[in-house]
């Protein structure tokens, strides 16, 4: 038993708030990355409140909550040069048109092509300079440990959410 919740088969049942916490951490990471790329500062508290209210509202309409998408954000910011919130709105409207009006055509795109695009976006997202041994020597040891914990946990479990949570937990214990 943990916090009054009984264990089932040795595992804790799924907490309904878990996706909210994970998406909040993920959203903050995406926002920080965009801030670094664009040399701007965002109000992460405001972003989190907006995301939370929107996720709650979507539930009333039968929708699923969500958070920022690193792939769409990187394409929008790095590849397209977007710098304002209008770019995010236009990307969402474009996606809505693709799904509603062109769904049958989009369904004909081979999954391998979509995977290749996502791999290229992922490779382009990595700041390769940050993992260079010379850079790692200059960074605080605590930050290097958090990065290593996040990467190792994600690869070991094949679950990004677990990697992000363990990275966040290690960050809170090391700082």
Dihedral, CA of residue 118, residue 153, residue 20 and residue 85, to nearest 10: -40
Q: Using CA atoms, how far apart are residues 1 and 114, in angstroms rounded to an integer?
A: 43
Please provide the distance, in angstroms rounded to a whole number, between the alpha carbons at the two ends of the chain: 30
pLDDT per residue as tens digits for the range 96-117: 898 899 989 989 999 999 899 8
The answer to whether 67 and 51 are in contact (CB under 8 A) is yes
Sorting pLDDT into bands at 50, 70 and 90, what band is 49?
Answer: confident
Q: What is the pTM of this model?
A: 0.52
pLDDT confidence of 16, banded at 50, 70, 90?
Answer: low
CA distances, 34 to each of 17, 29, 79, 83 (Å):
26, 9, 13, 9
């Amino acid at each position: 038993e943990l916090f009054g919740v009984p264990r089932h088969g040795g595992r804790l049942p799924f907490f309904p708030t878990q996706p909210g916490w994970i998406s909040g951490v993920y959203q903050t990471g995406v926002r920080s990355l965009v801030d670094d790329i664009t040399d701007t500062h965002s109000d992460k508290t405001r972003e989190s409140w907006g995301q939370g209210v929107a996720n709650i509202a979507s539930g009333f309409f039968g929708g699923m909550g969500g958070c920022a998408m690193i792939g769409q954000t990187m394409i929008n910011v790095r590849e397209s040069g977007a710098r304002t919130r209008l770019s995010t709105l236009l990307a969402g409207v474009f996606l809505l048109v693709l799904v509603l009006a062109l769904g049958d055509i989009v369904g004909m795109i081979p999954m391998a092509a979509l995977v290749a695009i996502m791999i290229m976006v992922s490779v382009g997202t990595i700041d390769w300079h940050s993992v260079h041994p010379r850079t790692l020597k200059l960074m605080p040891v605590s930050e290097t440990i958090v990065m290593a914990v996040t990467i190792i946990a994600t690869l070991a479990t094949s679950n990004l959410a677990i990697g992000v949570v363990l990275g966040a937990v290690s960050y809170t214990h090391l700082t």
